[in-house]
Amino acid sequence: MKKKGIAVSVLMTGVFALTACGKMPDADQTTVLEEKNFTKTVIADGTVECADPEYIYAEDQLPIKDVLVKAGDSVKAGDVLCVLDTTSIENEIELQQASMELKGRSVSVDMASASHQLSYYKEGINSGKDSNLVAADAKVSQAQAAWATALKKYNDYKESLDLGTNRELLAADNAVNSTANSLQQAKSMQEEYKDKKDDENEHITKIMLEQAEDSVDSASLAYSQALRTRDSVLRETDVALADLAMAAGTAQMDYLMAVNAKEAAVRDLKNAKQTSADSYAKAEIASDMSVEEIKLAQLQTRLADATIKASKNGTVTSVNKDQGELSTGILFSVEDTTDLIVTARVEESDINSVQVGQKANVTLKTDSSDVYEAQVTSIAPAATKNSAGKTDTSGDDAEYEVTLKVLSPDENIKIGMNTDVEITVFEEPGCYSVPDRAIYTDNDGNSFVYAVSKSGDVNKLSVDKGVSAGKTTVVSGSGLKDGVVIVNDASTEAAQ
C-alpha cells in the first residue's frame, strides 16, 4: 500500500509540473495513436533461382557431333539439344550381334549332339538292348549255368561218397572184402591141414602144407594190396571232391564277377545317360541369350541416349559444350523462368521467427519499385556450410537458407538477380503500437506511456506490452484510443 501511494504521488507531481509548464512537445517527439494492423518482419538478402532447374548430362563420354540450341532458346520436353558421335557404340552393337549369332549356331550343334546321346542311352536302359548290357547279361547267364553244373557235379560226387555208391570206392571195398574172405579161407585151409597132418587117414603131405602156406601168403598179399588200393581210392576221392568243390567255388566267383560286371555296365550306362543329360542341360543354359540380350539392350539404350533431349519445358539458360568436345559434366541448363524461388539468407537471431507458409515481399535490388509477393516454402535445418562442410562462421552471425516461392513473377524478375526479402513473421489486426522508448517500466515491472492532452498536460497511462518489432511494440490499455498523443521518449518525462 505504501508503494502505491508513492506511485500516485509521483504521478501527481508529474502532472503538476507539466501543467504548470503547459508546453506541448514538438510533433517529431510524439506519436498519435491510430488503430491499425501491426506487422513484424524479418529482413534478409536473397537470390532469384528457378524452382526446379534441369541440369542435363550425357550418359556416355563421347565427342559432341552437333549442338542444336543456344542460350535463351525456348524448348519443350523431348526437343533435341545435341547429338553425340555414336560410331564406337554402333561398332559394339555390330560385334555383339555377330557374337550372339555365332553362339546361337554353336549352341544348336551342342544341343543336337547332347539330345542324340541322351536318347540313345535312354533307349538302351529302357529296352535293355545296349550292346554292353547285352554282353554282360550273356556272361551272367553263362557263368550262372557253369556254376550250377559245377555245383551239381560236386553235390552228386559227395552224395555218392556219403551213400557209398561211388563205383571206384565200391569196387575197392569189394576187393578188400573179397581178398579178406580169400585170406580167411586160405588160413582156414592151412589150419585144417595142420590139424589133419598127424592123422594117417587124411594123407596130408608136406607139399600140401606148403601149398596151403603159399595160398595164405598169396591171399594175405592180395588183401594188403586191396587195402592199399582202397586207401588210394579214398585219397583220390578226397582229392576229386576237393577239386569239384574248388571248381564250384571258382564257378561261383565267376558268376559273382559276371553279376558285378553287369551292374557296372548298368552304372556306366546310367552315368553315360546322366552325362548326356548334363551336357544337354548345359547346352540349354548356354542357349540362354539373356545376358547377351541385356548387353545388347544396354548398347541400344546408350545409342538412344546419345541423342540429348530436354525432359521438360523451359528456357536454355546455359550451353557448356561446343561441337567436338567430350560430353562431360553439365552440358545444358534448362529452367522455367515462370517458376521462380528466392533463396534468402536469414541470420540466426531471426531464424526461429520464420515459419513455412509465412508471406513475404521480394524487392529487386536493381529497382525498388519492383515488389513481388512470395511465400516461405522451406527452412534449412542447419546453418550454411563452407566448402569444408563446416558451419560458415565468416560473418558475425550464422545464416540459414530460407526458400520462398515467387507467387506472380513477370518478365522483370530474372534468374540470378539479387533481392531484398521482407518476411512477415507476426501480424495483429486492429491494435496500437508505440516506439519502444515510449514505454517506461518501473521497478515493480509495471509499464506506462505518457499521453499529452490538447492543453499540453501529460498523463501517465498504464499499459500492457505485446509483441515487439524491434523498434515498435504493441501496447493495450483502458486509456488508449485513436488520437491520443504519446511522448516518444518516456525517459524524459519519467525523470521530471
Q: How far apart are CA 402 and CA 408, in angstroms?
A: 19
Does residue 212 register a pLDDT over 50? Answer: yes
Instruction: Give yes or no for a contact between 146 and 251, defined as CB atoms under 8 angstroms apart.
Output: yes
Query: Looking at residue 3, what is its pLDDT?
Result: 29
Query: Looking at residue 16, what is its pLDDT?
Result: 30
Q: Give the list of residues 6+ apart from residue 347 with CB closer than 8 angstroms, or none.
A: 44, 397, 398, 399, 400
Does residue 344 register a pLDDT over 90? Answer: yes
299 — pLDDT class (breaks 50, 70, 90): very high
Query: Looking at residue 494, what is its pLDDT?
Result: 61
Instruction: Give yes or no for a contact between 46 and 345, defined as CB atoms under 8 angstroms apart.
Output: yes
pLDDT tens figures, 43-94 = 999 999 999 999 999 999 999 999 999 999 999 999 999 999 999 999 999 9
- Domains annotated for the chain, with CATH where assigned, are 1-32+439-496 (no CATH), 39-52+337-425 (2.40.30.170), 55-84+306-333 (2.40.50.100), 120-287 (1.10.287)
Burial class (CB in 10 A: 0-12, 13-18, 19+), 208: middle
Whether pTM exceeds 0.75? no
Does residue 454 register a pLDDT over 90? Answer: no
Query: Looking at residue 100, what is its pLDDT?
Result: 87
193 — pLDDT class (breaks 50, 70, 90): confident
User: Rounded to 5 degrees, what angle do the CA atoms 317, 321, 324 make?
Assistant: 150
In 3D space, the residue among 33, 22, 13, 105 whose CA is nearest the CA of residue 451 turns out to be: 33
Does residue 491 register a pLDDT over 50? Answer: yes
Query: Looking at residue 117, what is its pLDDT?
Result: 76
Instruction: Give yes or no for a contact between 461 and 448, defined as CB atoms under 8 angstroms apart.
Output: yes
Given the C-alpha cell 533461382, which residue does it identify? 49
Query: Looking at residue 330, what is its pLDDT?
Result: 96
Query: Looking at residue 20, what is its pLDDT?
Result: 35
pLDDT tens figures, 259-293 = 999 888 888 878 877 888 888 788 777 777 888 88
Mean pLDDT along residues 359-370: 92
Mean pLDDT along residues 296-322: 94
Query: Looking at residue 452, what is its pLDDT?
Result: 92
Query: Looking at residue 27, what is its pLDDT?
Result: 66
Average pLDDT, the chain: 86
Does residue 429 register a pLDDT over 60? Answer: yes
Query: Looking at residue 14, what is its pLDDT?
Result: 34
Instruction: Give yes or no for a contact between 24 and 452, defined as CB atoms under 8 angstroms apart.
Output: yes
Mean pLDDT along residues 156-177: 89
Does residue 495 register a pLDDT over 60? Answer: no
In 3D space, the residue among 46, 11, 10 whose CA is nearest the CA of residue 400 turns out to be: 46
Q: Give the list of residues 6+ apart from residue 23 with CB closer than 8 angstroms, or none.
A: 456
Mean pLDDT along residues 471-483: 92
Query: Beta partners for 334?
Result: 54, 316
Residue 169 phi, psi dihedral angles, 5° rounding:
-70, -35
CA dihedral 115→116→118→121, nearest 10 degrees, is 170
405 — pLDDT class (breaks 50, 70, 90): very high
Mean pLDDT along residues 411-426: 94
Does residue 480 register a pLDDT over 80? Answer: yes
Q: How far apart are CA 382 and CA 189, in angstroms?
A: 150
Nearest-10 crossing angle of helices 206-287, 167-196? 170
Percent of the chain at pLDDT exceeding 90: 57
Instruction: Give yes or no for a contact between 247 and 153, defined as CB atoms under 8 angstroms apart.
Output: yes
pLDDT tens figures, 130-162 = 888 888 889 999 999 999 999 999 999 899 888
User: Rounded to 5 degrees, what angle do the CA atoms 261, 140, 152 make?
Assistant: 135
Average the pLDDT over each of 107-121, 217-231, 339-353 and give the range with the smallest value: 107-121
Nearest-10 crossing angle of helices 87-127, 206-287? 150
CB environment 236-262: b (16+ within 10 A), e (fewer): ebeebbeebbebbeebbebbeebeebb
Instruction: Give yes or no for a contact between 336 and 314, defined as CB atoms under 8 angstroms apart.
Output: yes
In 3D space, the residue among 318, 411, 431 whose CA is nearest the CA of residue 364 turns out to be: 411
Does residue 223 register a pLDDT over 80? Answer: yes
- The x, y and z cell numbers of residue 10, run together, are 509521483
Query: Looking at residue 113, what is its pLDDT?
Result: 83
Q: How far apart are CA 429 and CA 460, in angstroms?
A: 26
Query: Beta partners for 308?
Result: 82
pLDDT tens figures, 10-38 = 222 233 333 334 456 676 789 999 999 88
Instruction: Give yes or no for a contact between 383 and 399, defined as CB atoms under 8 angstroms apart.
Output: yes
Query: Looking at residue 394, what is its pLDDT?
Result: 67
